[in-house]
Amino acid sequence: MSDRLSSAETPDAEVASRGSRPDSPTSLPSVGGHLGVARSDPRIAEALYRTALDGDRRVAVIMILGSVIVASLVQQQGSSRVAWLWCVACVVLSGARLLLNRPRRMGGRDQAALKYRPQWLALLCTAATCWGVGPPLFLLDNPSADTLLTGIFLAAAGLSASLLSAWRPAVYASLLPSLVPLLVTLAIHAGSASQISSNALLLSSVTAAFTLLLERLMIAQNNSLALLLAVRFHNEDLVQQLRSQINVTARANEEKTRFVASAAHDLRQPLHALGMFCATLEQRLQNTPDRPLVRNMMNAIESLEESFGSMLDISRLDAGIVQTAPQTFPIRDVFRRLYQQFGGDAEARDLALRFRATRRVVRSDPLLLERILANLAQNALRYTRRGGVLVAARRHAGGVALEVWDTGLGIPADKLEMIFREFYQIDNPERDRSRGLGMGLAIVQRLCHLLQHPLEVRSREGRGSVFRIVVPEGDVNALAVSKEAETLPPRKTGTITVLLIDDERAIREATRELLRPMQVNVIVAATVAEAVASAEKSEQQIDMILSDWRLRGQEDGLEAVRAVRAVSGEGTPAVLITGETSPELLKRAHEAGLVVLHKPLQPRQLIRLIKHLRR
């Protein structure tokens, strides 16, 4: 157990230690002092480079269009040959950039980006230098033409810089070779003594201001993009850590699920055997002074069984391992079983217990819904001193309202929320175990949440309470004629032969001793092969099969029942005793026509079942 706990704690400790390191990805860089840290992240540097690489394809297209426009304007001035040679050079260099930077598949694209980075930067600088040769060649003594050409050169430089701003080396490799020659050319023209000098001075001033402003804007844009990427990668790191924590939680939940499953079987087995032995002892000590002592022992065991079952149910519900199996069924079937379960208790308390089904059909999980109504009915009977309890199904805007009314003590308004807490009881501060554990309503609330059935409660102190569960209405036409789950046993007189299949020796002995005084011949077996052999050797007809769900190895109770029925007959009544509550198991058992009893099995349930054989 210690190894398991230490292994479970290791991921948490690892995550905690990773989050506390200075270079942890969860420490988000700030604008003031940690922009350099953001740039040092290779993921951010790579993302900035790929962004600039994407923008360069558009820059190359701009250069092609710009060179054609400039060559066309210069042609109108007369020097077309040089202009078109310059245009061809710009187009060739831009085409080479497009070829080097052509779209590829993601994997090949990343590898090419890393492989050809120096070549691309050199080609970009060469293309910008070729573009920068234009101003010294084409800025002549025509003020209007020079102004137009200067505007074209500046616009092309501005668009290129904005598209390449993600990567600073690309900005400088493109901006400086293209604008410095323009600025120098305009400054030289401005130094002349002609009339053009005033226009050239204005253009040179505008170009210098534009270059400084553009450089500042590109730095700011580059910083903003770097920080934006830092935030993105920071969030991705948080998501990754969250996924890691979820995986740790999922593994812990799986461990908890396995622990609950083991507890359901390993703890219920000895408790089941203890109940059988104590019931046997009670039978043997009838009409003796020691019988009250044994009765108290039985009460303690039943209380322990109830406590264990309730806490295990709460644990399974909180762990999220209880699965639902909704189906359409008439609510009268559930009401009939509830009346059989609580009718005797109500009569003993001198209370009226009434059920009104009114032919309603609902869609829900019948087993879980019956558990909800059983807890509510039991709670209502427990806190009602006079009057009675009414369980009714009524039409509701949301479907069918299943209501449990009582004329009990009522619930104060300030405690309506508290009654759904574990182990909370309003009128039992001394924790009298005979009045329950205070787990029933907690289980009801969790089951209603699991089934998505709204739960309402209204109460008047001293007048009584009503609990209402709104269940979707079922389609009457969807009702299927299903196989009766409970195999009807034949009437039997005299000795009854029961084949018990269980791999626990203590349970086999306890059950045999419990049923022996009732003229029940118990044939015991630990495996499927032993059960089949015992059925074949038995001189008496097998009247009932009692089988545990988990047997030795990979064998299970369903396999054992099928094998024994092949010998004793398909109509042999069979009961599956299990600590499992999964819907899949219950469905398979009902499809096979088996009665399902859950561990720890109270001896009176088994005795009642045997008495039913004699009817």
Q: Compute the distance between CA of residue 262 and CA of residue 316 in angstroms, rounded to an integer.
A: 12
Q: Compute the distance between CA of residue 401 and CA of residue 273 in angstroms, rounded to an integer.
A: 41
8-state DSSP, 489:
P
Considering only 72-76, 452-456, 597-601, which range has the smallest mean pLDDT? 597-601
DSSP string, 521-543: EEEEESSHHHHHHHHHH-SS---
Residue pLDDT, tens place only, 32-48: 445 665 667 788 888 88
Q: Which two tokens stand for residue 425?
A: 């009881």
> Integer distance in angstroms from the first to the last C-alpha of the chain?
51
Query: Taking each helix axis from N to C terminus, what angle separates 117-132 and 106-115, rounded to the nearest 10 degrees?
Result: 70
DSSP string, 125-148: HHHHHHHHTHHHHH--S-HHHHHH
The partner residues of 388 in beta bridges, in order of sequence, read 352
Q: Compute the distance between CA of residue 316 and CA of residue 307 in angstroms, rounded to an integer.
A: 14
Q: Which two tokens stand for residue 44?
A: 């951010």
The partner residues of 525 in beta bridges, in order of sequence, read 501
pLDDT at residue 484, rounded to an integer: 40
If you classify domain 267-322+484-615 with CATH, what class do you get? alpha beta
CATH architecture group of domain 325-478:
2-Layer Sandwich (3.30)
pLDDT at residue 113, rounded to an integer: 54
Residue 232's identity, in one-letter code, is: R
Query: Taking each helix axis from N to C terminus, what angle separates 42-77 and 106-115, rounded to the nearest 10 degrees?
Result: 80
Q: Which two tokens stand for residue 452?
A: 């998505």
The partner residues of 458 in beta bridges, in order of sequence, read 466
Q: Compute the distance between CA of residue 144 and CA of residue 49 in angstroms, rounded to an integer.
A: 39
CB 550 within 8 A of CB 269: no
CB 590 within 8 A of CB 473: no
Q: Compute the distance between CA of residue 341 and CA of residue 371 in angstroms, rounded to an integer.
A: 12
55: Cα separation from own chain's centroid: 41
Q: What percent of the chain has pLDDT over 90?
A: 5
On the question of a cis peptide bond just before residue 22, with omega within 30 degrees of 0, the verdict is: no
CB 538 within 8 A of CB 523: yes
Torsion region of 93: left, alpha or beta (phi above 0 gives left; psi -120 to 50 gives alpha)? alpha
- Tell me the pLDDT band of 24, cut-offs 50, 70 and 90: very low
- Tell me the pLDDT band of 491, cut-offs 50, 70 and 90: very low
- Residue 202 φ then ψ, to 5°: -65, -45
CA dihedral over 352, 349, 469, 357, signed as positive or negative: negative
What mean pLDDT value characterizes the chain?
Answer: 77
Helix count (H) and strand count (E) of the chain? 20, 12
C-alpha distances in angstroms, 326 versus 109, 241, 452?
Answer: 52, 37, 11
Residue pLDDT, tens place only, 519-577: 788 899 989 899 899 888 888 888 888 888 888 888 888 888 989 988 888 878 888 88
CB 443 within 8 A of CB 361: no
Which range has the top average pLDDT, 347-361, 427-441, 583-597? 347-361
More confident residue, 80 or 577: 577
DSSP string, 570-611: TT--EEEEES---HHHHHHHHHTT-EEEESSPPHHHHHHHHH
The domain ranges of the chain are 35-240, 267-322+484-615, 325-478
- Residue 542 φ then ψ, to 5°: -75, 115
DSSP β-ladder status, 574-578 and 544-548:
parallel
Q: Convert 150-174 into a string of H (helix), E (strand) and C (coil).
A: HHHHHHHHHHHHHHCCCCHHHHHHH
Residue pLDDT, tens place only, 584-611: 676 777 777 777 777 766 676 777 777 6
